Chains A and B, each alone.
Chain A
Amino acid sequence: MAAPKVAVLFGFGINCDHETAAVFNLVGGDAQRVHVNHFVSGNLNLDDFEILAVPGGFSFGDHLGSGRLMGNRMRFALREQLHAFVAAGKPIIGICNGFQVLVKTGLLPGPGADTPLPDFVQRASLTLNDSGRYEDRWVTLEFDAESPCIWTKGIQRIDCPVRHGEGKFVMPSTTDFDSLAANHQLTVRYVDPKTPVGQGITDQPLPFPLSPNGSMRNIAGVCDSTGLVFGLMPHPEAVYAKWLHPDHTRNTAPGPLSSDALGEWEGEGLQMFRNAVEYVLKNR
């Protein structure tokens, strides 16, 4: 079967496009870096791709708020193409700045389960870290096992770097969170690595730096009601191999013991991308 075609957006300050394309290719995807304007101008059609990735970076310098200007470009110039992509049941991931973009276009967390197609209404935001600082540091993440998210199936807990200044996930009211929680859309949270695996998730705000940004309910990432659109602030692509984990020099980097991609050196972040590729292959 032909490898799923992945469009990895770049341009205007997106800067994790190379590695994001590389990790899809490591797990059997056929990823291509595509400049946003190729879709805007109609040179290329989003419809010809099966997965869309909006990578990390500083689109438009994050001036006027992270992801906002890129979000606007997509909201205004790619509205129909994005709507059709989601309606066709194709997976989308936004990582870091890409997550901020998806939140600001309104694709995440998206409308309720009864009307799951995009309405491009912004319901949440990602704002300045409580610390006021951009930081690069490693965090521990735990995933909601019951989340409909197709990207995170079977993943329990991983270590990842966060690299952002605006990663605090906020919504106007607690009822917003409750309904997302009920639908298991609060897919991934920052947790204390000392807690037993599977018991880390808590709604009580964790102290810095366990939660690097003061995110409400320790939210690191959310999915839409279909589970196809997913975004997170941490960078799973940055730990595609164990040699990128800070503990590899101590011989204690976690991850699978063997893999088709990198043997015993596959990192914990790669499974997320494999999940999407396999989902596409299964659902063609």
Chain B
Amino acid sequence: MAVTRVEVTPKQGDGMRDVRGDVVRRQLKADHNIEVGEVRSINGFLVKSDIDKSEIAQRVSDLFSDPIIEDVQTDLPFLSSSEHFPITPDAAITIGFKPGVTDNPGSAAYDGFKTIFSNHEDRTDAAISTYHTYAFYDLPDDVTSEWLASTLHNNLIQRAVISDSAACAAAQWPAIDFPEKPPQTLTPPQRIDLEISNEELISLSESGLLALNLEEMQTIQTHYRDETVRQSREAVGIVADAPTDVELECLAQTWSEHCKHKIFASKIHHIDTETGEDTVIDSIFKTHIMKPTHDMQKEVDWLLSVFHDNSGVIAWNDEWSVCMKAETHNSPSALDPYGGAMTGIVGVNRDILGTGLGARPIANTDVFCFGPPNWEGELPDNLFHPSRVFRGVHAGVRVGGNESGIPTVNGAIVFDDRYIGKPLVYCGTVGIMPRKLPDGRESHIKTPTAGDIVYMVGGRVGYDGIHGATFSSLELTEESPSSAVQIGDPITQKKMLDMVLEARDAGLISCITDNGAGGLSSSIGEMAEYTNGCEIDLAKVPLKQPGLSPWEILVSESQERMTIAVKPEDCAAFDAMAQLHEVEATPVATFTSTGMFHVKYGEDTVAYLSIDFLHDGVPQLQLESEWQTPSPDPFAPESISIPGEAGHSELLLRMLARPNIASKESWVRQYDHEVIAQTAVKPFVGVERDGPGDAGVIAPIHGDPHGLVISCGIAPRYSDLDAGAMAAASIDEAVRNAVCAGINVDKMAGLDNFCWPDSIESVKTPDGKFKLAQLVRANRELERVCRAYNLPCVSGKDSMKNDYGSGEKKISIPPTLLYSVFGDQPDVRFTATSDFKNVGEKIYLVGVSKEELGASEIAFMLRDSGEATGIGGQVPLLQNPESNITTYRALSTAIQNGLIRTAHDCSEGGVAIAAAEMCIGGRVGAELDIDGTGDASVWARLWGESLGRFIVGVQPEDEADFVEWMSGHPVTVLGSVTDSNTLTISDGYDLLINAETHSMVEAWQNTLDMTGGVA
């Protein structure tokens, strides 16, 4: 087939701009301080088709270009046109995709191509690949075109073709060719001999990226020695005495840390060297997460579904239930920040769609942990600079969320040097479904029966995404495979989502789950547990390119796919619905009750595993845990010299500019946060709509103000002292944020998302016992606080290998728990936000400041600058959570009753930062006195991060009612809002802080604005 090259470039002229080119210019300035005179852009399309070139050329302006704003040329590079590009550029770089990488614009163009040539018989055979060309003018001499190209593309998934200045002068323009995937030949299933030595078993696991340990390999070895197993295998005509590659891959996926959570399920011998404790914990998941939640489930009627489904479901009212799930996509995001993060968000959307009989995603949350964006130190091999990771991840989540039409209502961005080794990309989604479907079934219960037809719906299966689950169960290395990286396709998924929800309401779905880690192997394998068996025919699975071997088809994690079971009598209706929505839906399996996971390729059996062995055969890990309290150098603020009155004021401005505290508005505003017309509290609030929001509040049923709160908490710094305190602080922060929005504290649920460094002691991880002890402590605190708060953990996830490299070069992330809360908000018209509302508003502190400066943001700031020697000291503790929750209930009901419209939680930077942010939101000043807020030192009362605290604003006429309402709870008057446009904070007669509101705004907003300006 001939390839026709179509190029499009923005018209030049009055008011017309080349915005794509200009964005590249501005980012070079913002990220690298490089001034380029001008950058111009060209979009290219390589159209491979049997349709005559001249026929294509006639229609290019119907499809590829916009006649008002763009020029188009066929089979002639624009750069060679002196009319369009009269000046010779200093460099020209073309970026295209590598073969096999998802090219969304290319697929869209192909769809449009079919519309245009709808009557043409040759149309269906076409393929379209896209590229971008950038031409650089007035490039500084010391900037090489190779370096420019490296910043513009990721060579894992993209190709660059470069013309440097000499080539440009000689009119040699970059010409990229169609990314042709070399033909693949199908490899028939192989017999894998396991009658080999232990060393060989280990090396087989490692070389095959199976991520199975010796005991697991031996368990599989033993399984195939069983005579009854051998006999049953002979009966179906599969190799009897050894696994096929299909089976071994399938077991590796199903038994991966990613899918089976082996560390959370392990038997842990735990020693506490301080208390002398020596115990055995049989599964921290069952002990500290599942048991408490099940205990709570007995007490309430609104916990509909916990743990076993793709997300946890709670009853929101009589008609609707809501569910939420959060996932991480750390390893893929390290390799390809854009694609990795995008598949993260669209992937968790599918978890919601795969909950019960299908829920509709209505809100996203995104929490990222990165290295400092202004990092100037060394970067380990194969790792991107944190600013590039930040940009890529943000873009991936932005495109994934926005194009899917799901608002991003809440999130956080946290910075620490150690996240250079592995960024954390948490993506969460909230869903809603009618509690009863039109046919009377309860939507949160799946209803499969043997004989149901199992469809694969949505995208096709390709090489992209093979070994994602096992890969994420290994540490990052320089050789990490590119097949583990994928780019999401939100539009294919959106079409599928529209169709699935229609099919649900029509009663056509008996069971549904998403295809994520482990692909069909996991999705059909897990659903087959319901009916105790299934039979799959891999030859029926539609492929992106021919030649995939059976094991690859079974475990590929290609995106945008759901696995859906349909009763045989409903298949015709289901097929028709798929056709209407232009969604590919293919029956690939049948549920059985044989007890077997039976996989065929055509007539041949290629895998034959018992459901029991597949799901329950993995041996329990036995792990060692040993706690020793870390003792870093203490943070001793009394030794720091504060120059006179302005001292703490200067610290305030520096703290506001810290990336962990600074405004993320320029990033967050690029997310659609109010599609669906339900967002009642936006991410940014206040007079100029740029003050920090504490939690997302939505009213998802149009016309009804009944609300839902979504919030999060994260406090990884505290892990440097005690990961238990870190966990408690995360949960408390999430709850406090939700309380500020007026959540009903008696109807809220939580999600625990653990990201940990490798915690299994080994040569690679000599401190594994300590890291595991951190996990034990975090889970014990999680149980203690959640029980006290009556806060069930309805869903969660863990990512347990967040390390880079080994030995001296090893980077392990700080143990990090993201805790998300979602719950009932009775009426969104009565909520509170952080911005001070008006002059004269009275300001109160709810809670008590304690001597808890250990691992505080100010300690880190002053240690990093060399002004303090350490960050050690007392970490914030939640000593009496039972009393905290009664205070939260009082405050939240005060908000629900309209008594309070201003509330902000105190977290990073304590009272000083919270007050500053409230002044910024209201564009007002305030006069505060922190005398009487606790027995702690000035530093602790000003900057300390003691838990359980809020600053609230009360209208003078409501003050007496508020004080009465809060009687019995720790409440201290701080001062009032003033018209001075200055924040003053004093301690009795001592003035500590005197800062103008506008300078606080500037300090807070500038750090993370990496947009490079408007134009």
Interchain nearest-CB distance for B694 vs A (Å): 11
Report which of B403, B405, B682, B685 forms a contact with A16, defined as CB distance below 8 A. Answer: B405
Question: Are A122 and B68 in contact, with the CB atoms below 8 A?
Answer: yes
Question: Are B108 and A22 in contact, with the CB atoms below 8 A?
Answer: no
In whole angstroms, what is the CA distance A250 to B109 when docked?
47
Question: Are A128 and B19 in contact, with the CB atoms below 8 A?
Answer: yes
In whole angstroms, what is the CA distance A133 to B1014 when docked?
9
Chain B residues lying within 8 Å of A216, measured Cβ to Cβ, are: 15
Question: Are B63 and A18 in contact, with the CB atoms below 8 A?
Answer: no
List the B residue with the shortest CB-CB distance to A135.
Answer: B669
Is A85 positioned at the interface, with any CB of B under 8 Å from its CB?
no
| Contact digits for A237-258, partner B, Cβ 8 Å, 1 yes 0 no | 1111101101011110000000
Question: Are A134 and B682 in contact, with the CB atoms below 8 A?
Answer: no
Chain A residues lying within 8 Å of B956, measured Cβ to Cβ, are: none
Question: Are B677 and A243 in contact, with the CB atoms below 8 A?
Answer: no
Interchain nearest-CB distance for A260 vs B (Å): 12
In whole angstroms, what is the CA distance A61 to B490 when docked?
8
Is B747 positioned at the interface, with any CB of A under 8 Å from its CB?
no
In whole angstroms, what is the CA distance A37 to B835 when docked?
47
| Contact digits for A152-196, partner B, Cβ 8 Å, 1 yes 0 no | 000000000101000000111000000000000000000000000
Question: Are B23 and A35 in contact, with the CB atoms below 8 A?
Answer: no
Question: Are A124 and B68 in contact, with the CB atoms below 8 A?
Answer: yes
Chain A residues lying within 8 Å of B671, measured Cβ to Cβ, are: 136
Contact status of A243 and B705, CB under 8 A, knowing A12-B495, A64-B64 = yes
Contact status of A244 and B69, CB under 8 A, knowing A12-B495, A15-B405, A68-B112 = no
Question: Are A73 and B702 in contact, with the CB atoms below 8 A?
Answer: no
Chain A residues with a Cβ closer than 8 Å to the other chain, count: 73
Is A127 positioned at the interface, with any CB of B under 8 Å from its CB?
yes
Report which of A35, A104, A250 forms a contact with B835, defined as CB distance below 8 A. Answer: A250
List the A residue with the shortest CB-CB distance to B679.
Answer: A244
Contact status of A137 and B669, CB under 8 A, knowing A15-B675, A170-B16, A249-B833 = yes
Is A11 positioned at the interface, with any CB of B under 8 Å from its CB?
yes
Chain A residues lying within 8 Å of B837, measured Cβ to Cβ, are: 250-251
Chain B residues lying within 8 Å of A61, measured Cβ to Cβ, are: 104-105, 108, 403, 490-491
In whole angstroms, what is the CA distance A163 to B398 when docked?
12
Question: Are A69 and B111 in contact, with the CB atoms below 8 A?
Answer: yes
Chain B residues with a Cβ closer than 8 Å to the other chain, count: 71
| Contact digits for B651-670, partner A, Cβ 8 Å, 1 yes 0 no | 00000000000000000011
Is B282 positioned at the interface, with any CB of A under 8 Å from its CB?
no
Is A99 positioned at the interface, with any CB of B under 8 Å from its CB?
no
In whole angstroms, what is the CA distance A8 to B203 when docked?
59
Interchain nearest-CB distance for A274 vs B (Å): 14
Is B20 positioned at the interface, with any CB of A under 8 Å from its CB?
yes
Chain A residues lying within 8 Å of B828, measured Cβ to Cβ, are: 243
Question: Are A249 and B1011 in contact, with the CB atoms below 8 A?
Answer: no
Is A265 positioned at the interface, with any CB of B under 8 Å from its CB?
yes
Q: Which of A52-60, A110-118, A275-283 lies at the interface?
A: A52-60
Question: Are A136 and B703 in contact, with the CB atoms below 8 A?
Answer: no
Question: Are A58 and B66 in contact, with the CB atoms below 8 A?
Answer: no
Question: Are B676 and A19 in contact, with the CB atoms below 8 A?
Answer: yes
In whole angstroms, what is the CA distance A60 to B105 when docked?
9
Interchain nearest-CB distance for A44 vs B (Å): 11
Residues of A105-152 whose CB lies within 8 A of B: 122-125, 127-138
Question: Are A63 and B68 in contact, with the CB atoms below 8 A?
Answer: no
Contact status of A58 and B689, CB under 8 A, knowing A76-B115, A123-B68, A248-B829 = no
In whole angstroms, what is the CA distance A124 to B677 when docked?
29
Question: Are B670 and A134 in contact, with the CB atoms below 8 A?
Answer: yes
Contact status of A13 and B112, CB under 8 A, knowing A18-B702, A58-B403, A76-B118 = no
Chain A residues lying within 8 Å of B777, measured Cβ to Cβ, are: none
Chain A residues lying within 8 Å of B832, measured Cβ to Cβ, are: 249
Question: Are B22 and A132 in contact, with the CB atoms below 8 A?
Answer: yes
Question: Are B677 and A171 in contact, with the CB atoms below 8 A?
Answer: no
Question: Are A16 and B112 in contact, with the CB atoms below 8 A?
Answer: no
Question: Are B702 and A246 in contact, with the CB atoms below 8 A?
Answer: no
Contact status of A60 and B405, CB under 8 A, knowing A125-B66, A127-B19, A250-B837 = no
Question: Are A138 and B491 in contact, with the CB atoms below 8 A?
Answer: no
In whole angstroms, what is the CA distance A209 to B1002 when docked?
17
Most chain B C-beta atoms within 10 Å of own C-beta, residue among A18, A26, A56, A73: A18
Most chain B C-beta atoms within 10 Å of own C-beta, residue among A12, A131, A243: A243
List the B residue with the shortest CB-CB distance to A77.
Answer: B115
Is B801 positioned at the interface, with any CB of A under 8 Å from its CB?
no
Question: Are A69 and B112 in contact, with the CB atoms below 8 A?
Answer: yes
Interchain nearest-CB distance for A122 vs B (Å): 6
Contact status of A130 and B17, CB under 8 A, knowing A22-B677, A64-B64 = yes
Is A28 positioned at the interface, with any CB of B under 8 Å from its CB?
no
Is B580 positioned at the interface, with any CB of A under 8 Å from its CB?
yes
Question: Are B689 and A246 in contact, with the CB atoms below 8 A?
Answer: yes
Chain A residues lying within 8 Å of B109, measured Cβ to Cβ, are: 63-64
Question: Are A56 and B68 in contact, with the CB atoms below 8 A?
Answer: no
In whole angstroms, what is the CA distance A133 to B682 when docked?
19
Question: Are B1015 and A26 in contact, with the CB atoms below 8 A?
Answer: no
Question: Are A57 and B405 in contact, with the CB atoms below 8 A?
Answer: yes
Report which of A127, A136, A265 forms a contact with B674, defined as CB distance below 8 A. Answer: A136
Is A65 positioned at the interface, with any CB of B under 8 Å from its CB?
yes
Question: Are A240 and B677 in contact, with the CB atoms below 8 A?
Answer: yes
Most chain B C-beta atoms within 10 Å of own C-beta, residue among A127, A239, A261: A127
Question: Are A63 and B105 in contact, with the CB atoms below 8 A?
Answer: yes
List the B residue with the shortest CB-CB distance to A250.
Answer: B837
| Contact digits for B395-406, partner A, Cβ 8 Å, 1 yes 0 no | 000100011110
Is A10 positioned at the interface, with any CB of B under 8 Å from its CB?
yes
Chain A residues lying within 8 Å of B19, measured Cβ to Cβ, are: 127-130, 132
Question: Are A163 and B675 in contact, with the CB atoms below 8 A?
Answer: yes
Interchain nearest-CB distance for A27 vs B (Å): 11
Contact status of A68 and B66, CB under 8 A, knowing A15-B405, A19-B677, A265-B829 = yes
Report which of B403, B580, B670 forms a contact with A35, defined as CB distance below 8 A. Answer: B580
Is A202 positioned at the interface, with any CB of B under 8 Å from its CB?
no
In whole angstroms, what is the CA distance A58 to B671 when docked?
14
| Contact digits for A206-249, partner B, Cβ 8 Å, 1 yes 0 no | 00100000101000000000000000000101111101101011
Is B498 positioned at the interface, with any CB of A under 8 Å from its CB?
yes
Residues of B891-927 whose CB lies within 8 A of A: 901
Residues of A1-53 whose CB lies within 8 A of B: 10-16, 18-19, 22-23, 26, 35, 37-38, 41, 43
In whole angstroms, what is the CA distance A171 to B403 when docked?
27
Question: Are A122 and B67 in contact, with the CB atoms below 8 A?
Answer: yes
In whole angstroms, what is the CA distance A113 to B657 when docked?
56
Is B26 positioned at the interface, with any CB of A under 8 Å from its CB?
yes
Chain B residues lying within 8 Å of A248, measured Cβ to Cβ, are: 680, 829
Is B581 positioned at the interface, with any CB of A under 8 Å from its CB?
yes
Question: Are B673 and A243 in contact, with the CB atoms below 8 A?
Answer: no
Chain A residues lying within 8 Å of B580, measured Cβ to Cβ, are: 35, 37-38, 41, 43
Chain A residues lying within 8 Å of B1011, measured Cβ to Cβ, are: 131, 133
Most chain A C-beta atoms within 10 Å of own C-beta, residue among B67, B115, B1014: B1014
Report which of B111, B680, B703 forms a contact with A262, defined as CB distance below 8 A. Answer: B703
| Contact digits for B12-34, partner A, Cβ 8 Å, 1 yes 0 no | 00011101101100100000000
In whole angstroms, what is the CA distance A61 to B810 when docked?
40
Chain B residues lying within 8 Å of A73, measured Cβ to Cβ, are: 115
Apart from A58-B490, A238-B677, 10 more pairs, CB < 8 Å: A13-B490, A35-B581, A37-B580, A56-B675, A61-B105, A76-B115, A104-B66, A125-B68, A131-B1011, A262-B703
What are 13 inter-chain pairs, A to B, with CB distance below 8 A? A11-B581, A26-B703, A61-B105, A64-B109, A76-B118, A122-B68, A130-B19, A132-B22, A133-B1011, A136-B670, A241-B703, A246-B689, A249-B832
Q: Which 8 A-B pairs have the closest CB atoms?
A: A15-B405, A22-B702, A63-B108, A19-B677, A125-B68, A132-B23, A128-B19, A63-B105
A residues apposed to B, CB below 8 Å: 10-16, 18-19, 22-23, 26, 35, 37-38, 41, 43, 56-58, 60-65, 68-69, 72-73, 76-77, 104, 122-125, 127-138, 161, 163, 170-172, 208, 214, 216, 235, 237-241, 243-244, 246, 248-251, 261-262, 265
